Amino acid sequence: MDKIKIIKTEVEELLKKLIDKFEVEVSQEGESYQVIIKAEEEAPTVIGRHGETIRAIQKILEVVLYKKFGEPLRLLVNVNDYREKQKEKLELMVSQLADKVRTTKQSTQVQDLSSYERKVIHEFITANYPELTSYSVGEGRERNLVIDLKENEPTKSSTE
């Protein structure tokens, strides 16, 4: 049995415990696996408040699949295009914050982001705002993302 089939089976077994009607598609993109869940009426149950449940499902699947394959897998779980909508909202918010940083010449911090959300923002700033930088400060749940002018960026050792 290949990895994609095993991943699909594990996702389906987990989802059966949560919801009744769903479809699962799994594909491989480079080194990572995309898990797409289609669940019309029950999508909010799988996504959860602010995406908490979808992140938890992803983490549980990563652990289960690590145990099954004996190696870590890069996995991204998506429900009814939630990740795309989430990315659009983040990019809109970051555009406004970036404009504010450019105007005021003052850095700004964004709190309560998942590692996925921080990654999206870092990539967006890098691609769209050459005069700005973004970096993370803090540890664990207290980790915040900072958007600042490149000229104000602290040295690497102070942000690690």
What architecture is the 85-159 domain classified under in CATH?
2-Layer Sandwich (3.30)
Overall fold of domain 3-80: GMP Synthetase; Chain A, domain 3 (3.30.300)
- C-alpha span between 156 and 63 (Å, rounded): 31
Using an 8 Å Cβ cutoff, are 32 and 76 in contact? yes
Entry pTM: 0.71
Domain residue limits, the chain: 3-80, 85-159
- pLDDT tens per residue across all 160 residues of the chain: 599 999 999 999 999 999 999 999 999 988 899 999 999 889 999 999 888 899 899 999 999 999 999 999 999 999 998 989 989 999 999 999 999 999 999 999 998 888 888 989 999 999 999 999 999 999 887 889 999 999 887 765 544 4
* Beta pairing partners, 143: none
- C-alpha span between 87 and 82 (Å, rounded): 8
- C-alpha span between 38 and 52 (Å, rounded): 17
Three-point CA angle 84, 117, 78, nearest 5°: 40
